[in-house]
A and B are shown apart, each in its own frame.
Chain A
């Protein structure tokens, strides 16, 4: 089972907030338009984005994704962090671009799918 904590370890991602380290990652989604994310992302996805405002935390929580992964070295703003802390939203970060990051996450998922 690929958990958020294991993904962070495996890919060397920065841990921004990790209130639920054992949450399982069951899929992935990339996007910055929040309504698209709410419409298309699934429960348990790792959501890769460069959007960094507080609404990201609300969307992550309400759409029930496993974690948010900020790409391109983006850092969430203070309101987003406060909200993530308050509502138990996992947040990771990476300096990589969205495409590369998604490819890395996909290969980690594939590796763990084989193991299980």
Chain B
């Protein structure tokens, strides 16, 4: 495996105005690198859901993107409250988001399911009171 490209983004937990910045920047980068549009779209959506989760639940966090010739890995790390029941959180429609978040159009309980849907592999490492790290893996097809 060749040397990985690495990009780091701070996910600002203060407001929704900046939510999506890391996803948007990553989308631009992947475009420049010539990654297939469908893959870019999947990564953008999954990463945005992750960013939104960090803003809603964890006061922000870190997003890291690693790119090699055949794999893209997104690591989203926060020191928020952790996920009490991952199995439950993975169910479509299950949400612990407050009402004001729902008024913005989020909190439909689709965040984690969408991240799973739009990644080849998803790994969740979470501990209540400590934080959550989610890895999203994408295996790129050779042309």
Interface residues of A (CB under 8 A from B): 32-36, 38-39, 43, 51, 53-56, 58-59, 61-64, 79, 87
Interface of chain A: mostly helix, strand, loop or mixed: helix
- B38: CB under 8 A from chain A? yes
Roughly how many angstroms separate A87 CA and B44 CA in the complex, as a whole number? 14
23 A/B residue pairs, CB under 8 Å, sorted by A: A32-B105, A33-B105, A35-B49, A35-B106, A35-B109, A35-B110, A36-B108, A36-B110, A38-B114, A39-B110, A39-B113, A39-B117, A43-B38, A54-B17, A55-B104, A58-B19, A58-B23, A61-B27, A62-B20, A62-B44, A64-B41, A79-B17, A87-B24
**A38-B114, A79-B17, A87-B24 in contact; A62/B105 too (CB < 8 A)?**
no
Chain B residues whose CB sits within 8 angstroms of the CB of A64 once the complex forms:
37, 40-41, 44
Chain B residues whose CB sits within 8 angstroms of the CB of A43 once the complex forms:
37-38, 41
User: Given A35-B114, A39-B110, 5 other A-B contacts at CB below 8 A?
Assistant: A34-B108, A36-B108, A39-B117, A58-B24, A61-B27
Q: B105 contacts A63, CB within 8 Å?
A: no
Interface of chain B: mostly helix, strand, loop or mixed: helix
- B16: CB under 8 A from chain A? yes
